[in-house]
Amino acid sequence: MNWTTVCEFHEIAPNTGVCALVNGEQVAIFRQARTDRLFAIGNYDPAGKANVLSRGLLAQLGEVTSVASPLYKHHYCLASGVCQEDDSLSVPVFQVRLNNDVVEVAA
């Protein structure tokens, strides 16, 4: 498996996301504040038909950590990519890791 360097860990503010181009695809990478856990999903919102998910707000809906799209407020589970309001919608999920304070996404 190949890993693509995205940024330094400190460059992602807690509870926010950034967007990176990984093998020609926009990927949204999020940093959860309370655990410093990283998540990576496709940046394209299938409901809003735009690359905007990296600008969404992180939310905890029950046990599910998700991002709310800034367009129609659909929540996408960061672990599975499935939309919580409409399970016919989903986004791809990518492996992400922290390697010596550098955020990397599986390519």
CATH number of the domain residue 42 falls in: 2.102.10.10
Q: What is the pLDDT along the chain (107 residues), one digit of tens a residue?
A: 899 999 999 999 999 999 999 999 999 999 999 999 999 999 999 999 999 999 999 999 899 999 999 999 999 999 999 999 999 999 999 999 999 999 999 98
Residue linked to tokens 């020609």: 24
Q: In total, how many domains does the chain have?
A: 1
How do the residues of the chain divide into helix, strand and coil, expressed in percent and rounded to 5? 5, 50, 40
For β-strands 38-42 and 25-31, DSSP reports them as: antiparallel
Residue 82 structural domain: 3-106
Q: What is the pTM of this model?
A: 0.96
